[in-house]
Amino acid sequence: MRKLDYKKYLYPAVITVLVIFFVGGVVIGGASVMHMDGAYPPYEPDEAFAPLPETAGEAVDLLNGAIAQALTAAPKIKFVCDSSFDGDDISLTAKNGYEDLFKKYEGVFSSDDAEDKLEELYDKSYGVNGLAHEYETDYGDAGTCEVLLGGVAPELSEILSAESTDDRWVCSNCGESKNEPFDECEECKLTGAAEKRKRNTVCVTLTLASLPDFFPQRSVSQLDRLLNSEGFGSYVPTNITTEYPEVKLVFELDRADGRLRTLVFKAKTRLTASLETRTVPELSEYGDILLDCLFDDDIKYEITFPSISLNDAEPLRPGKTMTVAPGRTEAVKFSHQPNDRAVKIRWQSSDEGVLTVDEDGYVKAGKTPGEATVTATLTFEGWSCSDSVTVYVRKSVEKLNLNKYHLSLAVGGQYALRAQVSPRRATVRTVAWYSEDETIATVDENGVVTAISPGETVIYALSDDGFYKASCKTEVK
């Protein structure tokens, strides 16, 4: 290989590059920003995950297994009885009509103050199995775990239906993640940018036939204070009925280790009663008032196991990876539970020739590109858990451009798209190609587009390092 005198060319080259960037940047800068489609990986379900439960039986087995695991390990459990009451969900009617008068009293219930009071009446009055409505156990408190979680799993015969999902939707522009599909992103206001992804948890919703025994129940007496303080005078409730039009148990567990994360019982209570209000003359002339109200109550368990998670600030990246430029030092992002000084964390590098890691999680990369695994092991009161991240020592890709952003081809026509990653010194320069609709145009691994049938589609390139995406609108005539 012929040797080049780099120093001789360095300054002219730098100046030329700067001039090209400056002039080119102004001209095409706007265009390339428009075509920066974000930097998120494509939809890739993790094959290592356990399958979702398909039947009520499988769902109950999954829940029972997760509860048994929690009872043995005695993790931290936060328990909250919570209520949301919407004033629009209460109605007052009377046999003798006069709707206007009763509108006034409906207004009483739909005020923020009344809603707060009705929520509070529930929250403060109830707990479960002798525990307060809000309760938190310590790690290792097996007795209280048993009180809180023992016996909460429903019998199979009590389940009307079961649904499981591990889908979520991510805004490809800003990364906002939701468990339901969305059109406009709440965060960046972009429409149509939601892409379907997988969660690393499975969420199961069981519809139950009846309210579980331990679930706190609503009663007419809870309305006492409110009714009396708002001018009803004394009254006698009769013909009280209580029904539960919706009782659900929603639980979410970690697909990698089967650990329970949340368990929520949700119940709607419909309460109806006749109120005799003889002590208030202006009300009594209309006869008995019929009260009909709907409460939304829930009991939530948040279960936290001791854990350590590396690089969790980037949940959109598949696997756990980070990149450090040769010779540089960078901190591994991590979080752990419990989040206190009692935990001990030990850091290790699988190949000290490639990189080393210090006791605070700072990775120091060697001079040459390579990869190594960094593992952190957390120990806390007899618990031990660990997590790893693959660290690449390399010059990262920062941007991806295509030579064309619009393509028009006749059926059968071909065009070779070229992708260019920057900076030019990037260690991994390869890209993968995708066609949004292969019935209109296909693209091969070298970026050669072949027009198949008339229509419009998008061809996009994805950098193997960093998942930068660039797309080319393709029209086939």
Among 83, 173, 311, 349, contact with Zn ion (rule: CB under 5 A): 173
Residue of 337, 347, 340 whose CA lies nearest to 383: 337
Binding-residue pattern over the window 124 to 163 for Zn ion, x denoting contact by CB under 5 A: ----------------------------------------
Q: What is the number of alpha carbons within 13 Å of residue 358 lying toward its C-beta?
A: 8
The alpha carbon of 351 is separated from its chain's Cα centroid by a whole number of angstroms, namely 34
- 261 token code pair: 């994360």
Among 20, 23, 132, 188, contact with Zn ion (rule: CB under 5 A): 188
171 binds Zn ion (CB under 5 A): yes
Query: Which one of 121-129, 162-170, 174-182, 361-369 is the stretch in contact with Zn ion (CB under 5 A)?
Result: 174-182
Total binding residues for Zn ion by CB under 5 A? 7
- 311 token code pair: 């690089």
The CA angle 397-403-405, to the nearest 5 degrees, is 100
18: left (phi over 0), alpha (psi -120 to 50) or beta: alpha
Give the shortest CB-197-to-Zn ion separation in angstroms. Answer: 14
36 binds Zn ion (CB under 5 A): no
Q: Which residues contact 384 (CB under 8 A, 6 or more apart)?
A: 377, 378
CA distance linking residue 15 with residue 21, whole number of Å: 10
Give the shortest CB-394-to-Zn ion separation in angstroms. Answer: 29
Give the shortest CB-169-to-Zn ion separation in angstroms. Answer: 11
Q: Is residue 270 within 8 Å of 246, Cβ to Cβ?
A: no
61 binds Zn ion (CB under 5 A): no
Give the shortest CB-446-to-Zn ion separation in angstroms. Answer: 32
Give the shortest CB-178-to-Zn ion separation in angstroms. Answer: 10
Residue of 391, 397, 369 whose CA lies nearest to 463: 397
Query: Which one of 30-38, 86-94, 149-157, 184-192 is the stretch in contact with Zn ion (CB under 5 A)?
Result: 184-192
In the complex with Zn ion, the residue whose CB is nearer, 185 or 357, is 185
Helix locations, 202-311, DSSP H: 224-229, 281-284
Dump strand ranges (E) for 361-438. Answer: 362-365, 370-380, 383-393, 399-402, 406-409, 414-416, 419-422, 431-435
If you write DSSP's letter for every residue of 57-79 in order, what string do you get?
HHHHHHHHHHHHHHHHH--EEEE
CB atoms within 10 A of CB 155: 9
186 binds Zn ion (CB under 5 A): no
Among 46, 113, 146, 187, contact with Zn ion (rule: CB under 5 A): 187
316 binds Zn ion (CB under 5 A): no
- 214 token code pair: 């331990």
363: β partners: 330, 357
170 binds Zn ion (CB under 5 A): no
461 binds Zn ion (CB under 5 A): no
Give the shortest CB-183-to-Zn ion separation in angstroms. Answer: 11
In the complex with Zn ion, the residue whose CB is nearer, 40 or 102, is 40
Give the shortest CB-340-to-Zn ion separation in angstroms. Answer: 35
**Footprint (CB under 5 A) of Zn ion, residues 369-428:** none
181 binds Zn ion (CB under 5 A): no
Give the shortest CB-109-to-Zn ion separation in angstroms. Answer: 38
174 binds Zn ion (CB under 5 A): yes
In the complex with Zn ion, the residue whose CB is nearer, 182 or 405, is 182
In the complex with Zn ion, the residue whose CB is nearer, 187 or 444, is 187
In the complex with Zn ion, the residue whose CB is nearer, 173 or 337, is 173
Residues that bind Zn ion (CB under 5 A): 171, 173-174, 176, 185, 187-188
